[in-house]
Chains A and B, each alone.
Chain A
Amino acid sequence: MNEFSILLPIIIPLVGAMLVIIVRRLGGMKEGAALLATIFSLVTAIMLYGRELNYSLPWAGFGMEFTLRLYHFSAFILLAVSVFAFLITLYCCSFMRGKSYGVWFYFYLLISAAMVNGAVLADNLILMLFFWEGLLVTLFGMIAIGGKEAFKAATKAFIIIGICDLCMMFGIALTGYLAGTMTISKISMSPGSLGSVAFIFLMIGAISKAGSMPFHSWIPDAAVNAPLPFMAFLPASLEKLLGIYFLARISLDMFKLDVNSWLSILLMVIGSITILAAVMMALIQKDYKKLLSYHAISQVGYMVLGIGTCLPVGIVGGLFHMINHALYKSCLFLTGGSVEKQAGTTSLDKLGGLALKMPITFICFLVAAASISGVPPFNGFFSKELVYEGALQRGAIFYLAAVLGSFFTAASFLKLGHSAFLGKVSDANKNVKEAAPAMLLPMIVIALICILFGVYNHFPLSNFIKPILGEQRLAGHEFAINTTLIVITVVVLTGALLHHLFAVKITGSGLKSADYIRYAPVFRGIYNRAENKYFDPYDIGLKIVNVITKTAWRIDRAVDWIYEGLTVRAVYLFSNGIRSAHTGNYSLYIVWSLLGAVLVLIVIMKSV
Chain B
Amino acid sequence: MLSLFVLLPFLAIVMLNLPLKTVTRQLALWFGIALSAGQVFVVIFQPDVFWNGTDLLGRFFTLRLQADNLSMVMLLSIGIVTFAAILVGRQTIADSRLRFNFMNLVLLSLIGMNGTVLLTDLFSLYIFIEVVAISSFILIAFQRDLNALEGAFKYIILSAVATVLMLLSVSVLLMAAGDTSFSSVAAAVKNSSSSHFVRFAIGIFICGLFIKGGLVPFHGWLPAAYSMAPAAVSVLLAGIVTKVSGIYALIRLSTSVFGPDSSLNAVLMIAGAVSIVIGALAATGQSDFKRMLAYSSISQVGYIILALGCGTKLALVGAVFHLFNHSIFKSLLFVNSAAVEQQTGTSDMDKMGGLGSRMPYTNATSLIAFLSTAGVPPLAGFWSKLIIVIALWQSGYYIYAFIAILSSIITLGYLLSMQRRVFFGILSDKLQAVREAGFGIVFPACVLAAITVGVGLSFPFIFNSFIIPIGAFLK
Contact = CB atoms under 8 A, between A and B. Distances in A.
Interface in A564-591: 571-572, 574-576, 578-579, 582, 584, 586, 588-590
Contact of A574 (B161, B271, B281): B281
A605 B200 contact: yes
B203 A576 contact: no
Contact of A588 (B202, B220, B284): B220
B166 to A, nearest CB: 12
A540 B210 CA distance: 67
B266 A575 contact: no
A576 B200 CA distance: 36
Most buried by B among A571, A597, A606, A607: A597
A23 to B, nearest CB: 44
Contacts of B271: 596, 600
Contacts of B199: 604-605, 607-608
Q: Is the interface of A mostly helix, strand, loop or mixed?
A: helix
Contact of A604 (B220, B263, B413): B263
Contacts of A607: 199, 261-263
B210 A596 contact: yes
Contact of A601 (B204, B218, B223, B285): B204
B78 interface: no
Nearest to A584: B224
Contacts of B194: 608
Contacts of B203: 597, 600-601, 604-605
A289 to B, nearest CB: 53
Interface residues of A, number: 27
B157 interface: yes
B410 A571 contact: yes
Given A575-B285, A601-B204, A593 B195 contact: no
Nearest to B274: A596
B206 A582 contact: no
Contacts of B33: none
Interface string B219-234: 0110110000000000
Contacts of A576: 285
A605 B195 CA distance: 9
A241 B115 CA distance: 84
Interface residues of B, number: 42
Contacts of A479: none
A375 B270 CA distance: 92
B217 A593 contact: yes
A604 B206 contact: yes
A603 interface: yes
A571 B281 contact: yes
A592 interface: yes
Contacts of A594: 161
A29 interface: no
B154 A589 contact: yes
Interface string A548-577: 000000000000000000000001101110
A178 interface: no
A604 B217 contact: no
B161 A593 contact: yes
B165 interface: yes
A595 interface: yes
B284 A572 contact: yes
A603 B206 contact: no
Contacts of B284: 571-572, 575
Interface string B366-408: 0000000000000000000000000000000000000000000
A603 B263 contact: yes
Interface string A41-56: 0000000000000000
A566 to B, nearest CB: 14
A222 to B, nearest CB: 45
Given A572-B285, A575-B285, A579-B285, A589 B210 contact: no
Contacts of B261: 607
B220 A589 contact: yes
B427 interface: no
B418 to A, nearest CB: 14
B196 A608 contact: yes
A590 B266 contact: no
Most buried by A among B202, B264, B285: B285
A579 B282 contact: yes
Most buried by B among A592, A596, A604, A608: A604
A603 B271 CA distance: 12
Contacts of A586: 153-154, 157, 220
B211 interface: yes
Contacts of A592: 217-218, 220
B285 A606 contact: no
Contacts of B202: 604
A601 B161 CA distance: 15
A225 to B, nearest CB: 44
B16 interface: no
Most buried by B among A576, A600, A606: A600
B170 to A, nearest CB: 16
Interface in B200-217: 200, 202-204, 206-207, 210-211, 217
A596 B214 CA distance: 12
B278 interface: yes
Interface of B: 150, 153-154, 157-158, 161, 165, 193-196, 199-200, 202-204, 206-207, 210-211, 217-218, 220-221, 223-224, 261-264, 266-267, 270-271, 278, 281-282, 284-286, 410, 413
10 contacts: A589-B221, A590-B157, A593-B211, A593-B220, A604-B202, A605-B203, A607-B199, A607-B262, A608-B196, A608-B199
Given A596-B218, A608-B194, 19 more contacts: A572-B284, A575-B282, A578-B278, A579-B285, A584-B224, A589-B157, A589-B221, A592-B220, A595-B217, A597-B165, A597-B218, A600-B206, A600-B271, A603-B267, A604-B199, A605-B196, A605-B199, A607-B263, A608-B196
